[in-house]
C-alpha cells in the first residue's frame, strides 16, 4: 500500500514558490545562480514558504554564504507562524559539516514513521 501512496505523491504538481517557476512535479531539481546573498535568501525563503504552506517537510542546508541566524530571521519575517512549524518538526536547518547524509537519512525516516510523506524540500 505504501508504494501506491508514494506513486501518487510523485504524480502531483507542487507550487515552487519561485517567481517565474510555477508548479513543478515532485523530485524536480532547480539550480539558482545568484550574485549577492540577499538574492539567495529571497528565493529560498519563498521556496521554503511554499513548501511549509503545502504541509511539506523542509530542510535548509546552510553553508558559509548564509548564517543560521540570517535564515531564521528571514523565515520569521516571511511567516509569522514559522516557530510553530519548527516545533512540529516540519522545518530543519542543517550545517554541511555535521555529516549531512546521515542526518538527511535519519530525518527522512522520522518523517515517514510519523506519516509525513509529502515532498521534502532541500
Tens-level pLDDT at each residue, the chain (122 residues): 445 455 455 557 888 888 888 888 877 888 888 889 899 899 989 988 988 888 888 888 776 678 888 888 999 999 888 888 888 888 877 656 545 556 666 777 777 777 665 555 55
pTM, to two decimals: 0.67
Distance CA 59, CA 71 (A): 11
Is the Cβ–Cβ distance between 35 and 65 less than 8 Å? no
Show the cell assigned to 119: 515532498
Kind plus residue range of the DSSP H or E element containing 55 = none
> What one-character DSSP code corresponds to residue 57?
E
> What one-character DSSP code corresponds to residue 119?
P
Sheet holding 57-62, edge to edge: 91-95, 57-62, 120-121
Amino acid at each position: 500500500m505504501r508504494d501506491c501512496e508514494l506513486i501518487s505523491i510523485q504524480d502531483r504538481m507542487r507550487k515552487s514558490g519561485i517567481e517565474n517557476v510555477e508548479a513543478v512535479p515532485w523530485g524536480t531539481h532547480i539550480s539558482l545562480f545568484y550574485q549577492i546573498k540577499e538574492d539567495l535568501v529571497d528565493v529560498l525563503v519563498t521556496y521554503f514558504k511554499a513548501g511549509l504552506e503545502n504541509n511539506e517537510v523542509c530542510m535548509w542546508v546552510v553553508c558559509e554564504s548564509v548564517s543560521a541566524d540570517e535564515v531564521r530571521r528571514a523565515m520569521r519575517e516571511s511567516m509569522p507562524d514559522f516557530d510553530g512549524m519548527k516545533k512540529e518538526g516540519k522545518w530543519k536547518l542543517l550545517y554541511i559539516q555535521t555529516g549531512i547524509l546521515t542526518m538527511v537519512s535519519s530525518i527522512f525516516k522520522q518523517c515517514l514513521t510519523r506519516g509525513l510523506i509529502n515532498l521534502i524540500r532541500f
